[in-house]
Amino acid sequence: MNKAPATSKLKRSAISGLALAHAGITHIGHKARQLTRDDGDKLVAQDQHEAELGRILFRALNQLKGTALKLSQLLSMEADFLPAGIRRELAKGCYQVTPLNRALVHKVFTREFGLAPEELFARFEPHSFAAASLGQVHLATLADGTKLAVKVQYPGIASSIGSDIRMLQGILQTLALGSDLMPRQELIDRMMHEIEHKLAEELDYEHEADQLRWFSAHVALPDIVIPQVLEKQSSRRVLSMQHLDGLHLEPWLATKPTQAQRDHFGQLLYDWFWHSVRQLGRLHADPHPGNFLFMPDGQLGVLDFGCTKTISVEFCQAMAQAWTALLAPPSDDNYAQVRAAYIDLGVISAELSLGDFIDTLIPAITPLVNWQMEAFKTASFDFSNKSAYPSPQRSNSKTMLNIAAGFHEDLPYFDRAFLGLMHMLKQLGATVATGNPWTKPT
């Protein structure tokens, strides 16, 4: 029988406590064994140890479900935050979701509206057609025949955000004892605080409804479709929206679209991202392919506005400066521009000299920068040729963690959405007009 996420404080504390103990014991054993290994074996063992720590963390988060499982998904996408071995294990959270049974769905509607879903709609499908870590989506129909997608939040999970964040901070502190590739404690705390704030917004469907209405009113791209909100059938825990007909990325690719169709939708995805950042100043910050619909008339439906982020002018100016310098031939002058932009973004301290920046940090970030800039060195780019995301080298990751001072509050959201965009364009194999998007007129 499908159950709601565990909400008992005692039960959640027991799960996190066992995870902390297991991680601590694993770390002690690993450190003892490392004393007898040579340098080559130590590197292999360290990778295996980080993967095991990731499995311990994921098992705890997966048992807790709800917001904890959402945390697993978010942290797996923070490429520069956690070691690769831990992120690979956390990525499993993107594929393990247990749907609610009918009784729990009725419980949510009764609490929100005082009515069963069958009383609120002319027709309501009891089985969800989509599920995520925080809620699931049902098909419904109004008396006039209007088709709806109704998102229902799992009961009780909003109350667990704070305790889950504290639990995760404790586990990450323990993991930091077992890996020299974990961020400093102040960076972990700052990231957790930002995630907690955004999760609270994402669990407020009235906030998401406001975002849907805002984007609908401001988007100036004609082929972008955003579902309309049904206010009378929506609340803080239930969100009823216009149902859009279309396919998600993988089912759409299975229809064997032409290259022209791939290019069309690839350009739409690309333009939507940069239009949001540069013209709207507000980003749809959940890059999952399941949040986009490829519609029969060539339009692109955009779903799930629970996680959005206002992008500041100062952030855009610093990023434009960094990208323009990185796309130019290497020189001390151009690296000085990159250094100044990174200081403005809070990534490095002003105390890091230009010489140390060039000699120490530039070699460490070059593989990632090359991957980021690859598609923007020409007027257009064939994303079927996009290189794979660079595997982090331990020495480079350690250098970046030692030098990193922090991050601009907009940067994690931009990076996450940008990474999702690159992956989708690669899957599409689309050829897209690119150039330097930070300096193009909007």
For the entire predicted model, the pTM comes to 0.81
286: Cα within 13 Å, side-chain hemisphere: 22
Which tokens is 226 given?
A: 């955003």
The active-site residue out of 164, 263, 286, 410 is 286
Answer yes or no: are the C-beta atoms of 60 and 19 closer than 8 Å: yes
Answer yes or no: are the C-beta atoms of 72 and 59 closer than 8 Å: no
Full pLDDT tens readout for the chain, 442 residues: 444 444 455 555 665 566 655 555 555 454 545 545 565 565 666 667 667 766 777 676 666 656 666 776 666 666 556 666 677 666 665 545 556 678 889 999 999 999 999 999 999 999 888 876 688 899 999 999 999 999 999 887 777 777 777 777 777 776 666 555 566 677 777 778 887 888 888 889 999 999 999 999 999 999 999 999 999 999 999 999 999 999 999 999 999 999 999 999 999 999 999 999 999 999 998 878 889 999 999 999 999 999 899 999 999 999 999 999 999 999 999 999 999 999 999 999 999 999 999 999 999 899 999 999 999 999 999 999 999 888 766 666 666 777 877 889 999 899 989 999 999 999 999 999 999 999 976 5
Answer yes or no: are the C-beta atoms of 318 and 283 closer than 8 Å: no
Write down the residue that tokens 């964040």 correspond to. 165
Q: What share of the chain is helix, strand, coil (3-state, %, to 5)?
A: 60, 10, 30
> Could you please report the per-residue DSSP string of 236-275?
SSEEEEEPPP-B-HHHHHHT---HHHHHHHHHHHHHHHHI
> Could you please report the per-residue DSSP string of 151-220?
EEEPTTGGGGHHHHHHHHHHHHHHHHHT-TTSPPHHHHHHHHHHHHHHHHHHT-HHHHHHHHHHHHHH--
In the chain, which segments carry CATH 3.30.200.20? Answer: 101-153+204-243
What is the domain class of 101-153+204-243 according to CATH?
Answer: alpha beta
The amino acid present at 283, given as its one-letter code, is: L
Cα separation, 120 vs 123, in Å, equals 9
Cα separation, 195 vs 82, in Å, equals 15
The amino acid present at 17, given as its one-letter code, is: G
Which tokens is 46 given?
A: 């360290």
Answer yes or no: are the C-beta atoms of 322 and 347 closer than 8 Å: no
Whether 144 is catalytic: no
